[in-house]
């Protein structure tokens, strides 16, 4: 069972999607554009970072430790991109949610 994929899908993608569907539309247009621009910029940075980390053996992937789906994008499993592309909007959503909750610049 691909625990890595399931875990990060539930931890990051589900809350981020809920944020985008329900909370993001309550912000003004410039903040929504900033959210998507930041998410896009971070996606570029994180893809580059992922391949640099793999090249310099900062981390590795082992089927013995954690079963993977088996889809690879270059030398990185697809689960890594589920993590990176889910974590960015999730963290931004948490930040913006707290700003709105605390009524600071949002």
Question: Distance between CA atoms of 19 and 36, rounded to whole angstroms?
Answer: 13
Question: Distance between CA atoms of 62 and 49, rounded to whole angstroms?
Answer: 19
* pTM of the model as a whole: 0.79
pLDDT: which is higher, 49 or 4: 49
pLDDT: which is higher, 74 or 62: 74
Instruction: List the beta bridge partners of residue 72.
Output: 77
Residue 106 has pLDDT above 70, yes or no: no
pLDDT per residue as tens digits for the range 17-73: 999 888 888 899 999 999 999 999 999 999 999 999 999 989 888 778 778 888 899
């Amino acid at each position: 069972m691909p625990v890595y994929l399931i875990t990060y899908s539930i931890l990051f993608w589900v809350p981020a999607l809920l944020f985008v569907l329900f909370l993001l539309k309550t912000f003004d247009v410039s903040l929504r554009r900033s959210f998507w621009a930041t998410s896009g910029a971070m996606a570029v940075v994180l893809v580059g970072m992922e391949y640099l980390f793999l090249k310099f053996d900062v981390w590795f992937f082992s089927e013995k430790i954690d079963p993977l789906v088996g889809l690879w994008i270059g030398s990185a499993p697809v689960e890594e991109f589920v993590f990176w592309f889910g974590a960015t909007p999730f963290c931004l959503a948490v930040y913006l949610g707290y700003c709105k909750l605390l009524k600071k610049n949002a």
